[in-house]
Amino acid sequence: MLPYNKCKSRLKIGICLGLLFFLGWSETGIRESLAADLMISGSSTLFPLEQVWSQEYMKKHPHVHISVLSTGSGFGIMNAANGNIMIGASDTYLTRDLRARFSNLVSIPVAFEDAEVIYNIPELNKTVRLKMDGPTLAKIYLGKIRYWDDPAIVAMNHGVTLPHRRIKVIHRADSSGATFVFTDYLNQTSSEWHQSIGRDMLPSWPVGSGYNGSDSLVAAVMTAPGAIGYAGLGWVHEYHLKSAALKNRDGNFVVGSIKTIQAAGRAALQDPTFPQDFNRSIVYHFHGKNVYPDANFEFWMVNKNLPGETMRDIKTLLEWVLSTGQDPVYTEKMGFAPIPFRPIQLRLTHILNRLLPGNSYQERSPG
């Protein structure tokens, strides 16, 4: 397993290289570069898994060089659409608004992940796991619940002695897919949040301190007693973070895990109304005792107008990621649930075919 501290050191180097890349290369320069040089940029949640994938893929394909940068989902989507990078990594799907803005993008699901509520309450026993629901979380992030012993939190956690400690609200400051998934849960469970803030990659936060990237947010929560934040399962596992059990659509409090994320994904894929291109939220939509309510697909976004040779290299990489790359030795070890390729092979094949030059196949999505 690639340690996250190594990922973060690579992140610092990658950001510097990325700045040189964008300052020194025009869009034309990128398109004239070697077809086997691929750049992936975007989601900080997906970044560690992409590091593992790229290193393994380059071992087996020595003619290919892959650079991976952790810059946030919003950055990945926009720069893939602009042709500045080859693959934009995102925790969010292409919403109706994003499809209208970036009609040249194709989104391909590459893994399952989630957004988990993490916290740092030193007074709690290590064996205690807090329960949380959407309306209560919304009030915390609206600044209306300020202490950990608030009656709304106590009511959900019978038998747990909560301290009268001030809650330190931590959130992302950059355009973040993890934020999109987290606020999606708040948006669907709290009318107050829906009416005042909504679902967004970069919302207007009413309270709290913002940090760029999942690594910085996690570090902030770990070092601030009383803090609350959110991050993907991979970060929770790597740093042994305390995460809350979230209330799902059936009223069950479910802990984020490989199995509960898979249960959410499986429920979506078995739903006959779920769009063929996967461009719809799976947050809080599905019933089931063990369905985690804040799960999501992880996506790679590819510009349909890239040169044919580059596109063939990307398609070959994607075929590897969606087959060999889904092995638990890569996905589950890094805190992601694999995509079940066989049951959805036809859907994925249709999407991949859109990446071939001259292919006019189009999906329609209601999301």
When pLDDT is cut at 50, 70 and 90, the band that residue 353 belongs to is confident
Residue 167 has pLDDT above 90, yes or no: yes
Q: Report the chain's mean pLDDT, rounded to a whole number.
A: 88
What is the mean pLDDT of the segment spanning 212-231?
A: 97
> What pLDDT is recorded for position 347?
87
What is the mean pLDDT of the segment spanning 208-221?
A: 97
Instruction: Quick: pLDDT tens for 23-60.
Output: 333 444 444 444 479 999 999 999 999 999 999 999 99
> What pLDDT is recorded for position 21?
40
Per cent of the chain over pLDDT 90 is 80
* Positions of CATH 3.40.190.10 in the chain: 4-113+296-353, 116-269
> Alpha-carbon Rg of the chain, whole angstroms?
20
> What pLDDT is recorded for position 357?
53
> What pLDDT is recorded for position 356?
64
What is the mean pLDDT of the segment spanning 214-221?
A: 97
Instruction: Quick: pLDDT tens for 80-92.
Output: 999 999 999 999 9
Judge whether 321 and 110 are in contact, CB under 8 Å: yes
> What pLDDT is recorded for position 340?
83
Residue 236 has pLDDT above 70, yes or no: yes
Q: Of 167 and 6, which is predicted with more confidence? A: 167
> What pLDDT is recorded for position 155?
97
> What pLDDT is recorded for position 350?
84
Q: Which of 98-107, 257-266, 319-328, 356-365 has the lowest mean pLDDT?
A: 356-365
> What pLDDT is recorded for position 259?
97
Q: What is the CATH number of domain 116-269?
A: 3.40.190.10
Q: What is the CATH number of domain 4-113+296-353?
A: 3.40.190.10
> What pLDDT is recorded for position 101?
95
